[in-house]
Structure 1
Amino acid sequence: MTPSAPDWLGIAQRLQALAQAGLAYAPNAFDAERYAEVQALSLQLMAGLTGEPVAQLQTLFAGETGYPTPKVDIRAVLFRGRDEILLVQ
């Protein structure tokens, strides 16, 4: 049996999420510094996997602060009459 290759992108994304939560709730400057380093390492790992520059990935994740949660997005709303709304999952 051959062990499967690690999911490096999944690992980098998980590190990014842990760093984001850690930076949001770090009790002191020392912990914040460690979480910032984890975040930088995750960006380097993502850059190596995707071929994108670290600076571009940093810009992409800059708006993500606080505890990481799933994002909800609405792209369209359809109304039929006055009393009904069509929602599609």
Structure 2
Amino acid sequence: MSSPTKKKKYELVPGTVVETRTGRFMAWYEHRTDIIANGDNEKQALKNLRKMYKIVTETEAEESGQKQPVKLPHYLHGKQFKDKIECH
């Protein structure tokens, strides 16, 4: 019997990886050259790049106001919330 093979994840936008003179690897996306990550090998550099890209896009979404509004606590719904606002 053969062992199950892992399917590779294919990214929509693959990162570009370059080895530096010091032996480290730098990675970036062609469409976002402001986000650069590095690592000890290609795999680590791409992993760090994905993390960096996720953090940057989440931060940009927060700053531009596109993030979902925060859900109200369960004790501040409906009439209670309205009463609390009117009291202050």
If the length of structure 2 is used for normalisation, what is the TM-score?
0.31
Larger Rg: 2
If the length of structure 1 is used for normalisation, what is the TM-score?
0.31
Greater percentage in helix: 1
Task: Give the number of the structure with larger relative contact order, counting CA–CA contacts within 8 Å between residues 6 or more apart.
Answer: 1
